[in-house]
Structures are given as C-alpha cells and as structure tokens.
C-alpha cells in the first residue's frame, strides 16, 4: 500500500520521532515500497492456522516472591541525563 | 595460532600465558585496519588474563575458555564497560549489570577484549548502519563483512581474538560468518539467554558464536547455552551433547529445499552448495530435494514482525533515565521527539516507523496479525520437512560480499539479501553457516545448515564432517 | 424534569494492588516509602536488555481474587504490551493482559435499600503499575519505586444504574478483596483505585449513550459526586441539543465538576501485541484447586451463617464480619464456648471498646479463646457477678492472665455456700425485728432492704440470687 504524507506524520507522532520534511518524503516513498512488497502476505490463506505456542506449565515454574536485585539509587541514576535528588528530572509535564 | 582450540591447547600445555596472548591480541586490535572494535577494555582484559594465569598456576583452570581472548558484539551488556548497540542513543552508556552470556563467559575464565561494531541495534546486513564507524571485510577491505555482527566477524577473521559472540535476528551471525569465511551459529530460540542483550526483535533474537571452526563454535555454545532464571523464554532442554561432534554423517538425511535456490542467486554460490551436498553424500549421507512452500513469504513476514517488535522494544529510549537527551527540551514532546530523532539513525527510524504503522489501529490485522499467521505456516513447513530429513542445507547468502556503500540507498534491496537466513529465525530453529567454497574472486561462500529445534547436535556434527572434508582456509589481507 | 427521563449507565474499572513483597516482573521491593528510586532493579528501570520474570505469588493472589468473585480461571492466559509514552512508564509499554485475561466473568454481590443486587464482571486481568511523577518548580521528577507493582484490573459490565449502587458495589468488592488478603483496600494511598465509565440513556432507549471515563476518584464520596455531576452534564448537553464526546475526564473535587483530560487529537492507539518476552501463562493441574481449597469463607456467606446457624441478628452478623481477623477470632471463641450470643456480646461490647481504646487489633489480643470461654463459664456458674466479669475481662485483655488467677487476685469470687450466707442473714434479721414483722405483715418488698444488709456484711461478694432465696425462706419462717 502507499502511505500518504499525513499517515507518515501520524505514525511519526505515535512513535515520538521528529522528522524533517526530507525525512517525511523519503519515508513516504521507502515505507510505501516496503509495504508494497509486504502486501503479498494478503495472498496467503492463513485464516485458520494460528496456533498458540506451547507455554511453560504450572505456577511452580514462576519466580518466588522474594526481594532481590535492587540496584540502589546510585546505580539507578548513573546513566541519567538529569537528576534531582534521587529522582530522574525532566521538563515540567503539564496535565 | 588461529583457532580457539589451538589457544586453549597452548595455554594448557604451558606454551604461552593468557597475559601474553591477551597482550598480543590487544596490540593487533589497536592496529586493526578493519574497524572491528568499538571499545577495547584493555585494563579489564589484562586483569582477567592475569587472574586466569594465576588459576592455571594453582591448577584451578576452569575449562577450555580459561584465559582465551574473545570479543563481544556491542549489544551484549558488560557491567561497567560502555555498551552502545552501535547507536548514538547509547553513546557512553555504562551498564550496571552483565548479560547472562557475559557472566557465563567470565565464569568460564574467558578474557573479554572489548566490544565489536554492529549495525545500529542489530538492524542491517552490512555493518554500515553503525552510528560510529564502518567495518571492512578482513578478506577484502573494499567489501562488507556482512552484518549486523560484522564487527564480531571481522575481529575473528582478522585474528584479533579467538572467537566472538554475536546476535542473530534474521541472519546477523550466519551471514557475516559466510562473508568472512567463519563458522557462525544461531542457536534455537530459547537455547541461549537473552537477558542483558539489547533487544531488537524479541521473538527472533538469539545470541551465538562466531569462530574459525565448528569445534570452536561448539565450545562457545556449550559455555553460554542453557536455562536462565532471568529469561522466562529460555528453554529447559538438555544441553547440547558435544560428544557426538565427530560421529560422522553416515545415514544422515539431508534436505535440499528447492525454494532456497532463489532468482538472482549468484551461480557460483548455487554450484558450491550443490557440491557441498555431493560431499555429504560421499561421506555417507543421503540428500533429497524438499519443499518449504512458504519460504517466499519469509521476507514479508520478517519485515513486518521484526519492525513491530523493534518499535516496541525501542520505546524505552526516551531520554528520561539513560541514553541521549536533546539539548534543553522545553516540553515533554520535545524531549521525546527530538531525543529520539537525534539518537536513532535512519535505518532504525525506518523500522520503528514501519513497525508502528503495522501495529496501528486499522492496520494491525492486515500486517501484524497476518504476519503472525504466516509465521505459523512457515514453522509448519519445517515441522513437516523435519519428519523426512535431519538437516536442511542451503546457501547462507544468495550473493557474495558486496562492496561497501553499494546497496545503502535502497533498503528494500538490502532486505532481500536476508531471504535465506530469515526463515530459521521465524521458525526458531538452530542454523549454522560454514564455508563451503571459494568463489573465483577468492571470497568465501557460506553454506547454511538448519536443524530441528534444540537439535544443535546434529547441525554441529554435520558441519564438522563437511568442514573436515572440504578443508577450506581463509586468511585476512594485510600484515596482521 | 428532563433528568427523570434519563437513567445513568455505569461501568467500573478497579485497579487493586496485589499484596506481594516483590514486584510483578522483578525482585525489587513493593514497600512504600524509601528515597525515590530506592526500590528499583534493572528490570523496573527498563534498562536495555532486561526481561520480565513473573512473580508466582502475584498470580496466586489474582486467582484467589477471581475465585472469590466467582470468575472462571483461564488455564492459558497471555501477556500483552500496551504502548504509550509517559515519563512514569519506563519501557514505553505496560505489560498487561489483553486478548486472553486470567479471569473471565464473575460477579460482585452487594446490598442496597432495595435489596440485594449483583453486577457481572467482564474480566480480571493482571498488569504492572506505572511509577510516579511529581512536579517541582520547572521540572517534573520521576520516581519508579511503584513501577512494576502488581495490579489486578477488575472490569464490570455496564450494569450499574445509580451512583449509590456504584458505591455499594465498590464497598462490597473492596470487602471481598481485603477479606481474602489480596489487597489492603486503601483508596487514599491509591492501592484501590477506581475509574468510572458513565453514560446516560432515556428509559425507553435500547442502546447506550456515549460514555466518558472519569479518573481521580479517590474516595467513595468523590465517586458518588463525580458520577452524579457527570450524568447531569450529559443530560444537560443532550437536552440542549448537544452531543457527548467520548473522552477521559478528570474529577475536580474542589470545584465539584469534571473536565476534559485529553483532546481528541491525542487519542491513544495502544498497539497491543502479545509480549514476546514471556511465554503464555499456563496453569498446571491442581494449581487452581489448591488455591480454591485455601479460600476462606467469604463475608456474605459468613454473615448468612451467623444468622441461620448461630441465631445472631443481621446487625450482629454485620458488625462481627466487618474485619476478617476479628471474625475469625470470634469463630474460635464460639467454638470453645459452645454458645454464640454471649461471645458476640463480649466482642461487640467490651472487646471492641478496649481494642478501640488501646488502638490495637484483634491479632494482638493477649488471651486465648479458651480463656474467654472460662470467663463465660465463671459467669454462668455464678462464680463471679456481672460487674465482676467486666473487671476480669479488662484484666484478661491487659495481661492475658488465667481467669481463675485474676478472680483470686482480685478477690472477685462470690460467696455461694449457704453456711456463711445464712450466718449473715440471721444476723441481719436479728438486728431488725421490726422489719421482719413488717414483712410478715405483708410488706414483701422489704426483702430488698435485707439483701442490702446481708451484702454489706459479706463485703458485696454474696451471690445475690441465693441470698434472695434464703432470705425469703427465713422470713416466711
């Protein structure tokens, strides 16, 4: 299928990507070409073939409810771009 | 000294020390003309080499990897050592923890030299999508080493280390192995823990070894495979039985899928794969043509599902807790949109866009859900074929390594290069690439062997027999 | 009166925190307090490479909640990713259950002035909580201590028809969850949160009106108020020829109104898909049965039994089952004492009063059911008097000492033997021959005077009933 510029912008917004006008144009063409190639999936008769993959069975396989693996605030914040106290800081969110 | 087994033997015999091997490897790596490494951890490597030598002196060496210098693809987390996934987004990121595979290699005594280059977040087939540098093919520096584990492949092919771990989501271990004359193994999905591996497409990603020989690859697999409580998708299957490695292929049933001889395939590649099949027959195996009818949809299926999962997995790169943040964002929107626009490269953005679209309201049924259904059909193709044969043989890549820059401006053409490696990931199978021939221009041709889920043993023993019969050797160009 | 032409239609979504010690997908602690981000692991920070591992106890608690609410428990359920960007959501998606939740159906039964009502549940699913965002000056601060805390979301069918019923539904739901130990029921701290979907329709309409989702409802009072003002808003909109737009609205308790939270432009597209990092949750044979077997009797069933089997009033049954531990202790005491009403009286009277006064809970009580039974026996056998029993109980509550020891120490035992009683009676009669005459002359009421005199001689410890009997005998001569 062919994407419109508006669709590209909508998707970019969902994905939180700021695109330049050039990128919008390029992605419009490239994504349309890829989707055209991918559209052959529609030809596959697949409606009734979905099988749930086998899962691990039983609650006993799950993790026990014990506290372990806390990293401490220093390690938690070590790679943060901006910190205030022991919190991650970001521009003020209004809502 | 080239192979991991040789290094291990020399260490065991006391002919060399880990410190000496490590120093030599570091020296070559620092002079590396191919751009294999993004980060060298010189102090860490030397310290673990010394620790290994001390263990050995005290008679406490822990196994075949003890003291052997290895490299890790830079999307595998290493505590305290910068891990970037080849992205500006993670420039300077120092993980507070080791990936399970990293921890297992450390526990096995391995010396981790550093982190190798890759296509950003593993997205690419040429290692040209790295945000930091391009890696050259050590066998021909004008050509790509393949990707996305091109740095790992180059580090081994250029003999800067004795083995490496890469990751493979759609061929990213096997295709670089094929392009650089190495053995590369993508284990069954769930065979090796993904904990601490930067996620690209979770249902397809696996960690695996790149090495000079099948035996080396098997040794590395043995060190990293097995159940991990930190990865709920890791399998309880028993570990691979390596005692069968040399047991030969007599009576083995080999399937040659007709759909894998695709249009546009290099004739030298096709001929080489048929010759490898003949070699297996001469060793006592039987070869029959088989059909995997949904192979033609693998590319479309993969390029829907992998971007969908990628768009989700890459949501965490938001400039809040780690990673790149845009300068002085004035709003939450600017923080998100600009940080991500600046931090991600074009291929990553393309796949995030594609995946976001394919999951979005109104399109998820036609793309995401449809692709999941076709994936089940592809998996069923293999279930049926593996009732008749024990392994499936094909080429790894339909073409020989292309020249750097050759396919960069046409993403779709690049995607088509992965057509032979994608089904293995979609079906969750073990897949191995090994050299099966030399093209007229001297470049290696890779053969791919696929096996039943968790039957790495049969894949490895087939590869071992073929490797021994073919006796191919490839050497890097230049003075290293 | 246009309002009367309409009925309000309410569906509720309740998020209840599960009482685990560690988070749903990581080992970090769920405890409140601590510095921001102190209770985080690499998993709840959403660092590159991390993977979720399911907390078994969270699933057990969710199944327990499902069984208590009469749900069907799905043998196979599935985790999904729900995508949106917000600074308190570390991975850019929330791991939840979407197409295949753990619990299906079920119902909440509650009492109203019009009688008992039941509202069906659509589903209960398990999911992880987000972190917390606090605003400070020009910045917002992200604290991920709460991120990854296990929640269940309990979704009702749109079957509620009044704000009062909605509140009764929520109270009954909370009672059950707290009773079975799944949730602490705290609305103020946000461990029991409610969103309400509200629409209005004419009484004779066959389709629902457009609904709005109300958030920030952190007390039962606000829930009632918010639903009522929102329904009124819809009616006024419709009556003035407007249309209701489907949206999320925030209740402002100060102004007593709801206001729009997000514009249409920002409408969410959550892009759900199955979580590839987790296999489907497949229950083993016996998993559900063992949880079912351990499930306690539920409050409504227990109340009914108190009325039918124990012969208590509906009011008593209600009071005695307000708290699970209180009720459980009551049961143990009844089992020891072999009678319910006197035990109920002690529980609703003195015990409640003392717990309240000392600000303690029934779990901290120092005496055993056997000791309370001994006290009841002492009263019944006339060993101590009614006022004496209160004194004994106070000491029992304070110290947990043996009942007999307390009676002895305090000298509260009554004089029951006829010998000393008769001695005192004869003295009293001898001291007042005039009054004896008066009695024998027909003034039988004067026996009360003699009882007082006898009691005085016995230091107040005589058994009043026996004194009375012996006096009458003697006076009649």
User: SS3 string of C15-37?
Assistant: EEECCCCECCCCCCECCCCCCCC
The HSE-up count of residue C349 (CA atoms within 13 Å, CB side) is 11
Integer CA distances (angstroms), C233 to B213, C222, C240, C403, in order: 75, 16, 11, 64
In a domain, A30, yes or no: yes
Chain B residue numbers with beta carbons less than 8 Å from the beta carbon of C45 are 321
- Does the pLDDT value for residue A26 go beyond 90? yes
Same domain, C265 and C199: yes
**Which residue, among B137, B148, B80, B196, has the nearest Cα to B476 in the 3D structure?**
B137
Per the CB < 8 Å rule, is C85 touching B318? yes
Block residue for tokens 């259950």: C97
pLDDT of C263 = 53
Taking contacts as CB-CB distances below 8 angstroms, the residues of chain B near A24 are none
Q: Chain C residues with CB inside 8 Å of B196's CB?
A: 49-50
Helices and strands in chain B: count of H runs, count of E runs: 15, 11
Are the beta carbons of C273 and B332 separated by less than 8 Å?
no
Contact status of B375 with chain A (Cβ, < 8 Å): no
Question: What are the angstrom distances between the C-alpha of C445 and each of B196, C423, C456, C468?
Answer: 94, 22, 19, 12
CA C68 from centre of chain? 14
Nearest-by-Cβ selection for C143 from A62, A65, A87:
A87
Q: Which of B18, B52, B87, B172 is catalytic?
A: B172
Name the residue among B378, B380, B398 with its Cα closest to residue B448. Answer: B398
C12 plus C144 within the same structural domain: yes
Contact: A38, B374; criterion CB under 8 Å = no
User: Which of C373, C394, C410 is the C-terminal boundary of a domain?
Assistant: C410
Q: Which chains have 3+ CB pairs within 8 A of C?
A: A, B
User: Annotated catalytic, B311?
Assistant: no
Mean pLDDT computed over every residue of chain B: 96
Interface mutation vs chain C, best among A18, A50, A57, A59, most C CBs within 10 Å: A59
* Cα–Cα–Cα angle for B245, B248, B249, rounded to 5 degrees: 120
Structural Rg of chain C based on CA atoms = 32
Q: Does C276 touch chain B if contact means CB atoms closer than 8 Å?
A: yes
Residues of C in contact with B79 (CB under 8 A): none
Q: What is the count of structural domains for chain A?
A: 1
Catalytically annotated residue among B148, B155, B394, B433: B148
CA distance C166 to C186: 17
Please tell me if residue B316 touches chain C, with a CB cutoff of 8 Å: yes
* CATH code at position A18: 1.10.20.60
| Measured CA distances, A59 to C60, C61, C68, C286 (Å) | 8, 12, 19, 10
Q: What is the Cα gyration radius of chain B?
A: 21
Mapped onto helix, strand or coil, the DSSP state of residue C222 is: helix
Q: Using an 8 Å CB-CB cutoff, list chain B residues near C142.
A: 320-321
CB contact under 8 A, B95 and C48: yes
For C153, the 3-state DSSP assignment is strand
pLDDT at position C265 is: 46
By the CB < 8 Å criterion, does A66 face chain C? yes
Q: Is B172 a catalytic residue?
A: yes
**C245 and C267 both lie in a single domain:** yes
Domain around A29: 5-43
**What is the structure's pLDDT at B79?**
98
Q: Which residues of A touch C38 (CB under 8 A)?
A: 70, 72-73, 86
CB contact under 8 A, A62 and C53: yes
pLDDT-derived band at B250 (thresholds 50, 70, 90) equals very high
Tell whether C151 and C46 lie within a shared domain: yes
Nearest neighbour of B360 by CB, restricted to C46, C49, C269: C269
Handedness of CA C156, C109, C194, C196 (dihedral sign): positive
Q: Which of C410, C439, C467 is the last residue of a domain?
A: C410
Q: Would you give the distance in Å from CA B28 to the centre of its chain?
A: 23
Is B233 touching C (CB cutoff 8 A)? yes
CATH code (residue C470): 1.10.10.410
Which of B321, B343, B346 should we substitute to test contact with A (largest number of A Cβ atoms within 10 Å)?
A: B321
The pLDDT of residue C441 is: 85
Q: Does C357 touch chain A (CB under 8 A)?
A: no
Question: In 10 A of CB B44, how many CB atoms?
Answer: 17
Taking CA–CA distances from A77, the nearest residue in chain B reads B321
Q: Which of C132, C140, C263 to mutate to test the interface with A (most CBs of A within 10 A)?
A: C140
The answer to whether B191 touches B460, Cβ cutoff 8 Å, is no
Residue C295, chain A, CB below 8 Å: the answer is no
Distance of CA B368 to the CA centre of its chain: 25
**Is A17 contained in some domain?**
yes
Residues 8-37 of chain A with CB under 8 A from chain B are 8, 10-12, 14-19, 23, 27, 30-31, 33-35, 37
What is the distance in angstroms between the Cα of A88 and the nearest Cα belonging to chain B?
A: 6
Nearest by CB: C37 against A53, A86, A95: A86
- Residue B181's pLDDT band, with cuts at 50, 70 and 90, is very high
* Domain assignment present for A12: yes
Q: Do C76 and A55 touch (CB under 8 A)?
A: yes
Does a structural domain hold residue A65?
A: no
Whether B19 has a pLDDT exceeding 60, the answer reads yes
Chain B residues in contact with A39 (beta carbon < 8 A): 300
Q: Chains A, C: CB contacts under 8 A, how many?
A: 133
Exposed/middle/buried for residue C224 (C-beta within 10 Å: 0-12, 13-18, 19+): middle
pLDDT classification of B416: cutoffs 50, 70, 90:
confident
Is residue A51 very low, low, confident or very high in pLDDT (cuts 50, 70, 90)? low
User: Quick check: B99 contacting C, CB < 8 Å?
Assistant: yes
Classify residue B309 by burial, with Cβ atoms within 10 Å: 0-12, 13-18, 19+.
buried
What domain range includes position C197? 2-282
Average pLDDT of the segment spanning B401-405 = 94
HSE value, Cβ hemisphere, 13 Å, CA-based, for C460: 6
C-alpha to C-alpha distance for C422 and C474, rounded to whole angstroms: 9
Estimate the share of chain C in helix, then strand, then coil, as percent rounded to the nearest 5: 40, 20, 40
* CA B231 to chain CA centroid, nearest Å: 19
Do the domain assignments include residue A63? no
Chain B residues in contact with A38 by the CB 8 A cut-off are 300, 303-304, 367
- The distance of B466 to chain A (nearest Cα, Å) reads 34
CB spacing of C278 vs B232 below 8 angstroms: yes
In degrees and rounded to multiples of 5, residue C389 shows phi and psi of: -60, -40
Cβ contact, residue pair B316, C48, below 8 Å: yes
Tens digit of pLDDT at every position of chain C (477 positions): 467 899 999 999 999 999 999 999 999 999 988 999 999 999 999 999 999 999 999 999 999 999 999 999 999 999 999 999 999 999 999 999 999 999 999 999 999 999 999 999 999 999 999 999 999 888 999 999 999 999 999 999 999 999 999 999 999 999 999 999 999 999 988 999 999 999 999 999 999 999 999 988 999 999 999 999 999 999 999 999 999 999 999 999 999 999 988 654 456 899 999 999 999 999 998 999 999 999 999 999 999 999 999 999 999 999 999 999 999 999 999 999 999 999 999 999 999 999 999 999 999 999 999 999 999 998 888 888 788 889 999 999 999 999 999 988 888 787 778 888 888 888 888 888 888 888 888 888 888 888 888 888 887 778 888 888 888 888 877
Encode pLDDT of B332-357 as tens digits. Answer: 999 999 999 999 999 999 999 999 99
Chain A CB within 8 Å of residue B297 CB: yes
C34 in contact with chain A, both atoms CB, cutoff 8 A = no
Is residue C351 located within the same domain as residue C441? no
CA dist list (Å): C213 to B12, B93, C9: 70, 41, 12
The reported pLDDT for the residue numbered C259 is 92
DSSP C96: E
In a domain, A92, yes or no: no
Peptide bond into B148 cis (omega under 30): yes
pLDDT value of position A53: 55
* Residue at which a domain ends, from C282, C313, C330: C282
Decide if B340 and A19 are in contact by the 8 Å CB cutoff: no
Supply C299's token pair.
Answer: 């409050």
What residues have CB less than 8 Å from B92, skipping those under 6 apart?
B82, B84
| Interval A48-68 mean pLDDT | 75
Please check whether residue C287 lies inside any domain of the structure. no
- Interface residue C19 vs chain A (CB under 8 A): no
Residues C275 and C244 in one domain: yes
Domain chopping of chain B, boundaries: 1-480
What does CATH list as the number for B1-480? 3.90.1300.10
Question: Which conformational region is residue A27 in: left (phi greater than 0), alpha (psi within -120 to 50 degrees), or beta?
Answer: alpha
Residue C267: predicted pLDDT: 63
Round to whole Å and give the CA distance between B192 and B226: 6
| Sign of the dihedral through C-alpha C316, C319, C322, C323 | negative
Interatomic CA distance for residues C203 and C445, integer angstroms? 70
Joined tokens for residue C295? 């499930």
Of the residues B18, B52, B73, B234, only one is catalytic, namely B73
A22 belongs to a structural domain: yes
Residue predicted with more confidence, C386 or B451: B451
A48 part of a folded domain: no
Asked if B16 reaches chain C (Cβ–Cβ under 8 Å), the answer is no
Domain count, chain C: 3
ipTM associated with this complex: 0.97
**Dmax (CA) of chain B:** 70
Phi, psi of A18 (to 5 degrees): -80, 125
């Amino acid at each position: 299928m062919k994407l419109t510029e508006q669709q590209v912008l909508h998707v970019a917004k969902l994905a939180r990507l700021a695109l330049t006008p050039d990128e919008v144009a390029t992605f419009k063409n490239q994504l349309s070409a890829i989707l055209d190639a991918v559209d052959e999936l529609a030809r596959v008769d697949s409606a009734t073939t979905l099988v749930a993959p086998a899962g691990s069975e039983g609650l006993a396989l799950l993790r026990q409810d014990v506290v372990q693996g806390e990293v401490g605030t220093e390690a938690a914040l070590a790679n943060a771009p901006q910190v205030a106290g022991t919190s991650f800081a970001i521009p003020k969110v209004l809502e | 000294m080239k192979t991991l087994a040789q290094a291990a033997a020399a260490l065991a015999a006391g002919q060399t020390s880990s410190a000496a091997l490590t120093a030599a490897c570091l020296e070559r790596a620092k002079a590396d003309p191919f751009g294999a490494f993004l980060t060298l951890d010189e102090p860490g490597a030397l310290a673990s080499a010394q620790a290994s030598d001390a263990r050995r002196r005290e008679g406490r060496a822990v196994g075949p990897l003890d003291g052997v210098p290895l490299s890790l693809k830079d999307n595998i987390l290493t505590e305290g050592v910068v891990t970037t996934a080849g992205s500006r987004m993670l420039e300077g990121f120092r993980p507070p923890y080791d990936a399970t595979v990293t921890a297992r290699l450390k526990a096995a005594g391995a010396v981790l030299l550093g982190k190798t280059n890759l296509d950003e977040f593993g997205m690419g087939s040429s290692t040209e999508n790295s945000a930091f540098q391009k890696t050259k093919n050590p066998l021909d520096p004008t050509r790509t080493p393949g990707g996305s584990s091109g740095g790992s492949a180059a580090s081994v092919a250029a003999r800067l280390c004795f083995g490496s771990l890469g990751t493979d989501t759609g061929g990213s271990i096997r295709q670089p192995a094929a392009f650089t004359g190495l053995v590369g193994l993508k284990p069954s999905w769930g065979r090796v823990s993904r904990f601490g591996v930067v996620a690209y497409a979770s249902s397809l990603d696996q960690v695996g070894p790149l090495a000079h020989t099948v035996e080396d690859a098997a040794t590395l697999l043995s060190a990293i495979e097995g159940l991990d409580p930190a990865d709920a998708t890791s399998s309880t299957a028993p570990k691979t039985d390596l005692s069968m490695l040399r047991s030969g292929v007599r009576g083995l049933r080999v399937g040659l899928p007709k759909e894998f001889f695709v249009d546009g395939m290099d004739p030298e590649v096709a001929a080489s794969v048929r010759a490898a099949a003949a070699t297996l027959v001469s060793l006592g195996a039987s070869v029959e043509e088989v059909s995997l009818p949904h192979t033609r949809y693998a590319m479309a299926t993969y390029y829907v599902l992998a971007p969908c999962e990628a768009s989700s997995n890459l949501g965490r790169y938001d400039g809040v807790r780690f990673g790149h943040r845009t300068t002085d964002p004035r709003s939450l929107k600017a923080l998100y949109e600009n940080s991500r626009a600046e931090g991600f490269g074009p291929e990553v953005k393309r796949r995030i866009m594609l995946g976001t679209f394919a999951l979005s309201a109104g399109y998820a049924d036609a793309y995401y859900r449809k692709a999941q259904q076709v994936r089940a059909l592809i998996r069923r193709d293999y279930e049926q074929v593996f009732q008749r044969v024990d392994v499936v043989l094909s080429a790894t890549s339909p073409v020989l390594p292309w020249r750097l820059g050759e396919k960069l401006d046409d993403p779709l053409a690049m995607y088509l290069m992965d057509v032979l490696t994608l089904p293995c990931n979609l079906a969750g199978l073990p897949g191995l690439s090994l050299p099966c021939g030399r093209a007229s221009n001297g470049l290696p041709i890779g053969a791919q062997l696929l096996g039943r889920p968790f039957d790495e043993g049969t894949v490895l023993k087939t590869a071992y027999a073929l490797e021994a019969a073919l006796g191919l050797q490839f050497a890097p160009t230049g003075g290293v | 009166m246009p309002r009367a032409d309409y009925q309000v239609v309410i569906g509720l979504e309740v998020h209840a925190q599960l009482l685990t010690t560690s988070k749903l997908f990581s080992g970090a602690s769920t405890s409140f307090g601590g510095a921001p981000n102190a209770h985080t692991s690499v998993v709840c920070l959403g660092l590159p490479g991390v993977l979720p591992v399911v907390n078994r106890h969270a699933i057990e608690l969710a199944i327990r909640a499902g069984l208590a609410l009469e749900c069907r428990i799905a043998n196979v359920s599935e985790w999904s990713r729900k995508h949106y960007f917000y600074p308190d959501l570390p991975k850019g998606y929330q791991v939840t259950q979407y197409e295949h939740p753990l619990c299906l159906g079920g119902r909440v039964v509650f009492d109203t002035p019009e009688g008992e009502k039941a509202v069906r549940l659509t589903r209960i699913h398990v999911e992880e909580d987000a972190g917390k965002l606090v605003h400070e000056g020009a910045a917002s601060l992200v604290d991920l201590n709460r991120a990854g805390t296990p929640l269940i979301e309990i979704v009702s069918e749109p079957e509620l028809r009044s704000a009062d019923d909605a509140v009764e539904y929520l109270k009954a739901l909370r009672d059950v969850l707290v009773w079975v130990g799944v949730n602490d029921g705290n609305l103020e701290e946000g461990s029991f949160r409610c969103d309400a979907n509200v629409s209005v329709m004419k009484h004779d309409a066959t389709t629902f009106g457009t609904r709005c989702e109300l958030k920030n409802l952190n007390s039962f009072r606000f829930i009632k108020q918010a639903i009522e003002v929102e329904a009124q808003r819809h009616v006024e909109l419709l009556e003035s020829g407007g249309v209701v737009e489907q949206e999320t609205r925030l209740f402002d308790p100060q102004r007593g109104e709801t206001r729009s939270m997000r514009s249409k432009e920002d409408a969410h597209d959550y892009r759900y898909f199955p979580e590839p990092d987790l296999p489907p949750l497949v229950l083993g044979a016996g998993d559900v049965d063992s949880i079912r077997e351990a499930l306690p009797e539920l409050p409504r069933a227990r109340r009914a039994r108190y009325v039918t089997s124990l012969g208590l009033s509906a009011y008593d049954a209600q009071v005695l089952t307000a708290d699970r531990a209180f009720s459980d202790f009551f049961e143990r005491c009844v089992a020891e004492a072999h009678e319910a009403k006197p035990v109920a009286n002690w529980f609703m009277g003195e015990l409640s009063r003392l717990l309240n006064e000392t600000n303690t809970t029934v779990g901290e009580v120092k005496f055993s059911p056997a000791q309370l039974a001994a006290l009841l026996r002492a009263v019944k056998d006339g060993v101590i008097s009614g006022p004496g029993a209160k004194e004994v109980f106070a000491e029992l509550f304070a110290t947990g000492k043996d009942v007999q020891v307390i009676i002895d120490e305090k000298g509260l035992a009554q004089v029951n033997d006829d010998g000393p009683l008769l001695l005192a009676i004869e003295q009293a009669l001898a001291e007042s021959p005039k009054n004896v005459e008066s009695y024998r002359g027909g003034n039988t009421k004067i026996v009360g005077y003699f009882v007082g005199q006898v009691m005085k001689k016995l230091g107040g410890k005589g058994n009043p009933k026996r004194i009375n009997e012996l006096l009458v005998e003697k006076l009649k001569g």
